[in-house]
């Protein structure tokens, strides 16, 4: 989590009048806590959720306000429900409305078990300071060998915090007097680092933050980091547009692998949604011609079942299936949507034709023949990842439209990360460089400093939330990630961000990634002279950011000088003509190939 200073929608004071004091929050806190770690639910000391008919039975914030049980149920967040976020599984408390369902952090010892790269918490803050407030505190992760590691847990205010990083946003706040305020009540899934390879036995929650307010913890778990798996394909959720309502039909999505393996699983995400989405069935196959599979598709299951309901904001992984995934190959991932879907989380710039059956045509996931798929899709809805068993792990490329491949030849897999993936698979590659999977997390129009899409609600903008706000989901929570390549910033300097703001954002991303044990490679921003808004002032800001990237003083583990690769030596503010797609901002196929071929593969190795 980083800066949360976004414009908020409501505040505690607008609901309750004068700010409540810290003593009001702590009045019923137990005077002491057991020294031995206990399961989190045995430490619950606060009631956050009320039935709409009995709102006075809960008091989340010390001022009589609470979450609506009916809103939670409508979002798919039902009692005891397992919720997957960023590769971690958290369980919503199995408590009835009005029962204790969260703990206010005050140094409690929480029993946890597992080995992984992080500890994940489902949290929210209640603060007397209201809008924009972040409550934080320091705690410890404790290991079986007697060692410990410190962490800082940060949580935004449940009403004033940002929509861009929330796990879920609920439409109402229940008030003690029986009223219901129309507001966005938000909960957050956040992670803190753990030492890889050590067995975790407990966490000590932060001490009482005092006048800041309260840190409320609803759930905690160890994120395993998916040992034994490698991400072979991935895409970022860029927005939540209307899709015109899909009814009882099947999508057949075409994706291109990087690494191969003997087993597969897929990841579906209901990012930014306010309601669950029902998956009736899913399958995977190697693409033959168009929507047709080479062989009969292999059915996927979710917890042993043919389908799954994915709650608002959450994700779902399919069970591992014995399906030989070949490297550098097109797959068909088919998804049946049995219930109406009016809007969906999508990656909009797929640059790949996928397919959709007609409304009412039912489950076509098992058909090798593609004749049922009569409509074309040029985006990737719901599907965000394909993983393979084994392999050395993955490289994530975090970027904007140039990484996304805009202006490359559709269907040709000519993006620069595709070129990089091919080099990593090449039999003549450097034997010291593992054959990593490559996960493309470029989003067209994306920025480092600010959000294009606000992170909630149906929108026509699919430029995504900022690179800082999507870092946990699109990098830290990716399967088998070992290295991050950060190639962003041109949209920031074109749209008014100062070079200092961009540099600060880059530093924050690099610091968070390195805290999690990742190697971080920075790339310089490529030139855009000749594009309508690429003025001399923009180029000056770009040049200042590039000077930082090249001489960052240790912010990056390695640097890729993409600016030097693409620029015209005679006019360094412009791209070489033979690399230019024609719009002077985006490289064409030749320029993208030059970027992919310029990467020093050893720079990717931790």
**Tens of pLDDT, residues 20-62:** 223 333 334 444 566 799 999 999 999 999 999 999 999 999 9
Given this model, what pLDDT does residue 430 score? 84
Q: Check: CB of residue 66 under 8 Å from CB of residue 53.
A: no
Which of 51, 196, 43 is CA-nearest to residue 518? 196
Which residues, 6 or more positions from 506, have their beta carbon under 8 angstroms from its beta carbon? Answer: 448, 486, 488, 489, 522, 545, 548, 549, 555
Position 183 confidence tier, pLDDT thresholds 50, 70, 90: confident
Alpha helix ranges (H) inside 246-311: none
Q: Which token pair is 240?
A: 């939540």
How distant is the alpha carbon of residue 298 from its chain centre? Answer: 27
Both 327 and 269 in one domain: the answer is yes
Given this model, what pLDDT does residue 179 score? 82
pLDDT digits (tens, 9 = 90+) for 488-543: 999 999 999 999 999 999 999 999 999 999 999 999 999 999 999 999 999 999 99
Assess if residue 272 is contained within a domain. yes
Which of 167, 196, 223 delimits the end of a domain? 223
Q: How many domains does the chain have?
A: 3
Both 298 and 207 in one domain: the answer is no
Lowest-pLDDT range of 179-188, 392-401, 509-518 = 179-188
Dist. CA 231–CA 226, nearest whole Å: 10
Assess if residue 237 is contained within a domain. no
Both 358 and 410 in one domain: the answer is no
Assess if residue 5 is contained within a domain. no
Q: Which token pair is 25?
A: 């929050």
Alpha helix ranges (H) inside 106-243: none
Dist. CA 85–CA 467, nearest whole Å: 17
Neighbours of 483 (CB within 10 A): 22
Both 523 and 404 in one domain: the answer is yes
Q: Which token pair is 406?
A: 């805009």
Distances from the Cα of 363 to the Cα of 43, 281, 384, angstroms: 45, 7, 21
Q: Which token pair is 292?
A: 């047709």
Average pLDDT score over residue span 195-217: 94
Which of 382, 405, 428 delimits the end of a domain? 382
Q: Which token pair is 48?
A: 């956050």
| 284 CB-side CA count, 13 A | 27
CATH number at residue 408: 3.40.50.1110
Both 260 and 208 in one domain: the answer is no
Both 108 and 31 in one domain: the answer is yes
Both 525 and 605 in one domain: the answer is yes
Assess if residue 234 is contained within a domain. no
Both 402 and 364 in one domain: the answer is no
Assess if residue 460 is contained within a domain. yes
Lowest-pLDDT range of 4-18, 216-230, 331-345, 427-441 = 4-18
| pLDDT, averaged across the chain | 93
Assess if residue 573 is contained within a domain. yes
Q: Would you say the C-alpha torsion 225, 226, 227, 231 has a positive or negative sign?
A: negative
Distances from the Cα of 54 to the Cα of 66, 135, 218, 411, angstroms: 11, 29, 21, 56
Task: Report helix, strand or coil for 69.
Answer: helix
Q: Which token pair is 467?
A: 């690179």
Domain of residue 333, residue span:
242-382
Given this model, what pLDDT does residue 34 score? 65
Position 66 confidence tier, pLDDT thresholds 50, 70, 90: very high
Q: Check: CB of residue 251 under 8 Å from CB of residue 354.
A: yes
Which of 223, 250, 268 delimits the end of a domain? 223
Dist. CA 313–CA 345, nearest whole Å: 10
Which of 378, 370, 372, 376 is CA-nearest to residue 357? 372
Which of 276, 291, 283 is CA-nearest to residue 341? 276
Radius of gyration of the chain (CA): 24
Place of tokens 């039912």: 362
Mode of pairing for the β-strands spanning 229-234 and 383-389? antiparallel
Distances from the Cα of 563 to the Cα of 406, 440, 549, 567, 594, angstroms: 18, 20, 11, 6, 11
Both 496 and 570 in one domain: the answer is yes
pLDDT digits (tens, 9 = 90+) for 297-346: 999 999 999 999 999 999 999 999 999 999 999 999 999 999 999 999 99
Both 169 and 273 in one domain: the answer is no
Assess if residue 235 is contained within a domain. no
Both 484 and 344 in one domain: the answer is no
Question: Which residues is 127 bridged to in the sheet?
Answer: none
Position 181 confidence tier, pLDDT thresholds 50, 70, 90: confident
Both 355 and 283 in one domain: the answer is yes
Which of 11, 14, 29 is CA-nearest to residue 214? 29
Assess if residue 236 is contained within a domain. no
**Whole-model pTM over 0.85:** yes
Neighbours of 82 (CB within 10 A): 14
């Amino acid at each position: 989590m980083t800066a949360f200073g976004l414009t908020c929608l409501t505040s505690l004071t607008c609901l309750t009048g004068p700010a409540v004091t810290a003593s009001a929050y702590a009045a019923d806190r137990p005077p002491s806590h057991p020294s031995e770690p206990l399961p989190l639910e045995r430490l619950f000391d606060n009631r956050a959720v009320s039935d709409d008919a009995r709102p006075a039975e809960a008091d989340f914030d010390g001022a009589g306000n609470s979450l609506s049980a009916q809103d939670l149920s409508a979002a798919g967040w039902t009692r005891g429900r397992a919720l997957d976020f960023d590769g971690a599984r958290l369980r919503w408390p199995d408590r009835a409305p009005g029962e204790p369902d969260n703990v206010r952090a005050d140094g409690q010892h929480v029993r946890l078990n597992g080995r992984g790269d992080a500890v994940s918490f489902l949290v929210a803050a209640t603060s007397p300071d209201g809008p924009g407030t972040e409550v934080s505190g320091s705690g410890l992760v404790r290991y079986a060998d007697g060692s410990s590691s410190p962490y800082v847990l940060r949580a935004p205010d449940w009403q004033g915090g940002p929509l861009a990083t929330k796990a879920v946003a609920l439409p109402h706040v229940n008030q003690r007097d029986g009223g219901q305020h129309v507001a966005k009540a938000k909960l957050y899934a956040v992670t803190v680092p753990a030492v890889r390879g050590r067995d975790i036995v407990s966490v000590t929650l932060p001490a009482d933050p005092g006048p800041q307010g309260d840190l409320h913890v609803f759930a905690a778990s160890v994120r395993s980091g998916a040992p034994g798996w490698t991400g072979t394909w991935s895409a970022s959720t860029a927005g939540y547009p209307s899709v015109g309502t899909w009814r009882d039909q099947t999508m057949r999505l075409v994706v291109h692998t990087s690494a191969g393996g003997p087993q597969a699983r897929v990841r579906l995400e209901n990012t930014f949604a306010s309601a669950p989405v029902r998956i009736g069935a899913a399958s995977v196959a190697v693409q033959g011609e168009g929507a047709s599979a080479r062989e009969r598709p292999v059915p996927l299951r979710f917890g042993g079942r043919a389908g799954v309901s994915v709650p608002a904001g959450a994700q779902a992984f399919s069970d591992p299936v014995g399906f030989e995934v070949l490297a550098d190959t097109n797959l068909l991932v088919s998804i049946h949507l049995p219930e109406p879907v009016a809007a969906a989380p999508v990656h909009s710039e797929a640059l790949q034709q996928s397919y959709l059956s007609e409304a009412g045509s039912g489950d076509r996931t098992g058909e090798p023949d593609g004749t049922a798929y009569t409509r074309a899709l040029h985006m990737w809805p719901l599907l965000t990842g394909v993983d393979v068993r084994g392999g050395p792990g993955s490289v994530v490329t975090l970027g904007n439209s140039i990484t996304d491949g805009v202006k490359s030849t559709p269907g040709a897999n000519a993006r620069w990360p595709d070129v990089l993936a091919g080099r990593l698979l090449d039999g003549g590659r450097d034997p010291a460089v593992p054959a990593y999977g490559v996960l493309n997390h470029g989003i067209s129009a994306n920025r480092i400093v600010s959000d294009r899409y606000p992170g909630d609600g149906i929108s026509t903008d699919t430029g995504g939330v900022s690179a800082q706000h999507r870092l946990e989901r699109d990098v830290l929570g990716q399967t088998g990630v070992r290295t991050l390549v950060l190639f962003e910033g041109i949209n920031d300097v074109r749209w008014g961000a100062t070079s200092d703001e961009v540099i600060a954002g880059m530093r924050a991303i690099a610091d968070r990634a390195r805290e999690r044990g990742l190697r971080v490679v920075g790339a310089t921003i490529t030139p855009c002279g000749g594009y309508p808004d690429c003025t001399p002032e923009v180029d000056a800001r770009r040049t200042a950011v590039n000077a930082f990237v090249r001489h960052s003083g240790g912010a990056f583990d390695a640097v890729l000088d993409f600016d030097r690769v693409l620029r015209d030596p005679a006019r360094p503010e412009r791209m070489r003509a033979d690399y230019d797609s024609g719009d002077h901002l985006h490289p064409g196929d030749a320029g993208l190939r030059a970027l992919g071929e310029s990467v020093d593969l050893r720079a990717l190795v931790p």
